[in-house]
Structure 1
Amino acid sequence: MSASSVSTAFRQPRAVWAVAFACVVSFMGIGLVDPILPALSKELGASPSQVTLLFTSYLVVTAVAMLVTGWVSSILGAKRTLIAGLMLIIVFAAAAGSSDSIAGIVGFRAGWGLGNALFIATSLAVIVGSATGGFAGAIVLYETALGVGIAAGPLVGGLLGTISWRGPFFGVAVLMLIALVATVVFVDPTPKPEKTSSIIEPLAALRHRSLATTSVTGLLYNWAFFTILGYAPFLMGLSAIQLGFVFFGWGILVALFAVFGAPMLKARFGTPRTLYGALTTMAILSAVIGVWAENRWVVIGAVIASGVVVGLNNTLVTTAVMSIAPVPRPVASATYGFVRFIGGGLAPFAAGKLVEHYSVHVPFIVGAVTAVVAALVLRTVHQALVDADAEEHQPVSHERQDAEDAVSQIPVVEEEAILAETALLEDQRFGR
């Protein structure tokens, strides 16, 4: 990131700040419930596998919604899609906090996932369309919001969780209500794209081998990642606030290595070698937790350290998808999001069931195996990744530079054009 991008990133109109604030709250949702999982299990008389359904319902619905968010946004327009997503999050987060059963919370968490998918699908597009100082400055602001949200989510969840397990849910509802009012008041209406997106494009794109292969890599990696995120809290024996601080440390590393570490290591070692190292490290950390599951401090250390590889993988696997997929980037983003979050959604529930039927060691050993298999699957597109890295260093043609300069002069950029230009950065950061 250039110094000029950073210097202009925070001189923005109120519309940009409204959406950026909502982004922070939205990304907080990734780790917000981690600190209250043991409390939910104890106070509602639910098994760990039942409690981990909070991840499953949220992520599986998010995954399926990724297939239709482009279509919905092309019908409603960006601002209306944002508002719809925010309203769903408010309603379902508050409903989850009011529920007295784990089944009710799981169901409302699913609705929360739908709202989050609609919001994330268009938030960056609106920021870029409304920001001053150019595309790069808008991206700096978006990345900052993402990093703050990921790191703060577990800490906020832990702080509110010390009052009650209901606290994090009501807290999100209140913060998102503020974001909704700000969005309605400050964000200008956005035009609809001239062409409505096809609802079947993301699924049809799976016929392309490179996209299918990297998407499966994401699924396998997310299986290992969400096994740790979803079940490790039950191994630590910590209070809600203590868990909040553990996952706050994890979130800081996720943000730092997603924004700064991944580009640096990619420049030095290339995408494939960096990813092989990150996936192997993920396998080692998961195996360490599996072997020493009864040792609280080993688990805590491994969980925090996993933030490094989570940040690297979140950025680089998605970058790989966008670089080698032979389809438009918005379609590739939706396809990859659908496949990878299926793995992330099913893994915590499967971990709970494996513990119930076997032992606490088994799900983490399984996670280690899936991370190794992810590296082996990625190996089959090694040359395509090398070629994509090489293309990034090719000079931009005069014709393409002229076209990009012309686009930068357009005062209001339609949502579809923004998405085509920014989808790489949009999805690579989500849980961005």
Structure 2
Amino acid sequence: MSWIEYAQRGEIQGKVVYFWQPMPKALNGVFQAWCSENAASFSLTKQQKAALYHRLTRKKWRTPKSLRNQQVLRKDHFFSYLAHQANIDPYLSTPAASIIGSNSHHTSALSYQKRNTNQLRYEIFTAQNRYLERMVHVIQVSPFKSMCAVCLPSNQTLIHVLSQPVKVPAYLETTGAIVAFTRKMSEGTRHYVEIPAVEFGSNRALSVDDVMTFFHDLRQKLARVPKVSAGDAVLRQYFNQRTFELALLFVLLTGTRPNHHASIEGRGCYAYEHALIRDKGRHRTIEIGTYLQQAMESYQRLQAQCFSRLDVLETKLDLLWALIDESHQITPVTAKSLRLFMAEQWQQCFGDSRGPVVPYMLRHTFAQHALMSSKPKLTRQEIDLLMGHSEDGEHLGQAYYFAGVSERLTEHLNRWSELLQLTPIK
């Protein structure tokens, strides 16, 4: 056999599923040797499993005399080493960490991100290899190297528990995804068939191509400001459509929840580069990319013109963008009005070829891109920061105070708008 694989447990919408997962490099040698010796009896009875579990976790271990001067690690910490490393690994995705870790950084983070089993298989395999390589390096220079080996009963051969293989199968050397296969027999010939990948996580993210098409179509409709002779009603309708466009761009390019007035308070916006918004009962800072800055500045110029031409009444609402009603009074964008506008424009753009959409899907699209982005590669904590997930108290010590983090997030936001190829708003 070329490599040992085991059944990895996961959950999809509350349903338990299993997928094949390659054994880490450092452990494959000893498992491969054992499986070769016990090919006829892989399975254990319930009693055997219980006895093995008790022996590993409950039975007291004795420290050899030669190692009593070394620091002793608690047994439960030893067995949870891989899970602990997964929890603190900043570059391990939330879907992968939820499978091999003991807890998620944020309970709702998995609802915004998606990975398939091929991607998870690769990510878990490479992560576990990194974690065990640290142990292998320490063992090579430690006094207990000779104790990290098992003896095969058949030929009394010593197999090191943590040993790096000389050669790895080709299917494990691919980048980004590892495909699993199942063996089938057909007319006396053995062949391998690829197992279809299964999706883990959220399916609410829109395709990048659909988002690009939708916003390009919307920009084409709003490219020209109505002439003075068009009348107040036409100008007001155009202004409101531009307001909805900016609100949708705001959700798409910042990942902000499209709730409440889906806007920014004027006193909470700082040079169109940062903004302070209220999100789920607490204030948090968001970065604003270059494209959204230009769109906001263009909208402010249009707003000044429309307010002057329509004699809009003064209001206490301190919002950077809002609607004008039939009485020429300012009214905030509501979640319902934004949802209806997007549904109407989406229908006009795609007809019946696409399913129904809501603005919240733009937030899911933003989160999925943050997960898949490689330039720059964001940590799990930075993605949670962009999404406003702060169960662990990130809002108490904002990472935006660190210039390096702020610059990396701004670079990510700018690359996101460049990927979407959004038409400049003048």
Identify the TM-score tier after normalising by the shorter chain.
under 0.3
Relative to its length, the structure with more strand (as a share) is: 2
The higher radius of gyration belongs to: 2
Relative to its length, the structure with more helix (as a share) is: 1
- Specify which structure has the bigger relative contact order, considering alpha-carbon pairs within 8 angstroms and separated by 6 or more residues: 1
The alignment's TM-score, normalised by the length of structure 1, stands at 0.21
